[in-house]
């Protein structure tokens, strides 16, 4: 049994609650009924996250017929932190390092997240945890998609994902690039022109990074290229490139 402490979010038939479960605080993601597709997605999310165990991924503690019980990890969403403006370069790179380590592990388990964005990243001091695998794809399981449904967030979504292709782990690397760009500049790449980019307009320019972050412009170019085969081949390769382009004694 558990006791709800407060509701964290409530969108449609999915409610996320902070709750007390025995002696510990947990986060419970509940399905309230009404949509068989969302019920199936919640069940699939449980199947996916149960196979993941990494220090930079919020752990799943238990599953029920209509709920997932996650560990409570105190911190703030990166989306909240970014409301105050860009982050310092060293912090942005530390969070990106944690994110890429989490994705490198998940990809190694055959899991592609497909919704990497600031709202799904918890910041705890100078560490990051990846959460919400509700749109994730496990390459070992049969896909569940609904015709015409957009799965992801356009500001951080790779062009091929926008077109409905959910088969390439490099879509997550595009999203990491978009998140890193947001952390360094205070806004996602391409701004109000993002839909043009996602639909194939190659004339929309990407404003370059300036100041001490300018050393990462090549990383941004490769991470945010429209063609997945021109991006880094893996999260580990992208992390190695970042570490090669910027080194700080305290990083």
What pLDDT digit, counting tens, does each position of 81-136 carry? 999 999 999 999 999 999 999 999 999 999 999 999 999 999 999 999 999 998 89
pLDDT of 213 > 90? The answer is: yes
What percent of the chain is predicted at pLDDT more than 70?
93
Res 249: pLDDT: 42
Domain boundaries, the chain: 2-71, 76-245
Res 1: pLDDT: 75
Which of 29-38, 142-151, 179-188 has the largest mean confidence? Answer: 179-188
pLDDT-derived band at 250 (thresholds 50, 70, 90) equals very low
Q: Is domain 2-71 in CATH 3.40.50.620, yes or no?
A: no
- Cα-based distances in Å from 5 to 25, 26, 60: 9, 10, 19
List, by residue number, the catalytic residues. Answer: 115
Res 144: pLDDT: 56
**For the ranges 15-29, 64-78, 137-151, 169-183, which has the lowest average pLDDT?**
137-151
Q: Do the domains 2-71 and 76-245 sit in the same CATH topology, yes or no?
A: no
Which of the following CATH numbers is that of domain 76-245: 1.10.510.10, 3.40.50.2300, 3.40.50.970, 1.10.1380.10?
Answer: 1.10.510.10
**For the ranges 26-35, 122-131, 232-241, which has the lowest average pLDDT?**
26-35
pLDDT-derived band at 145 (thresholds 50, 70, 90) equals low
Q: What is the mean pLDDT of residues 19-39?
A: 89
The CA distance from 118 to 116, in Å, is 7
Average pLDDT of the residues of the chain:
91
- Cα-based distances in Å from 168 to 64, 139, 151: 30, 10, 14
């Amino acid at each position: 049994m558990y006791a709800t402490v407060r509701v964290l979010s409530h969108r449609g038939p999915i409610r996320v609650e902070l709750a007390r479960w025995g002696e510990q605080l947990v986060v419970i993601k509940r399905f309230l009924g009404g949509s068989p597709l969302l019920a199936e997605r919640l069940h699939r999310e449980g199947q996916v996250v149960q196979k993941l165990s990494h220090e930079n991924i919020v752990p799943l503690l238990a599953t029920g017929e209509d709920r997932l019980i996650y560990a409570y990890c105190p911190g703030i969403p990166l989306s909240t932190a970014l409301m105050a403006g860009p982050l310092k370069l060293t912090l942005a790179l530390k969070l990106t390092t944690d994110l890429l380590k989490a994705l490198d592990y998940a990809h190694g388990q055959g899991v592609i997240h497909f919704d990497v964005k600031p709202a799904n990243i918890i910041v705890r001091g100078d560490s990051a945890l990846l959460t919400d695998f509700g749109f994730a794809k496990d390459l070992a399981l049969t896909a569940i998609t609904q015709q015409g449904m957009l799965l992801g967030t356009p500001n951080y979504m790779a062009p091929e994902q926008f077109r409905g292709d959910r088969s390439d782990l490099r879509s997550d690397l595009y999203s990491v690039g978009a998140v890193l760009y947001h952390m360094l500049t205070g806004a996602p790449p391409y701004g109000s022109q993002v839909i043009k980019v996602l639909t194939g307009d190659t004339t929309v320019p990407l404003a370059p990074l300036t100041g001490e972050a300018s050393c990462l412009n090549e990383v941004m170019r490769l991470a945010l290229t429209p063609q997945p085969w021109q991006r880094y081949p893996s999260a580990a390769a992208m992390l190695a490139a970042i570490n090669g382009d910027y080194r700080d004694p305290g990083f």
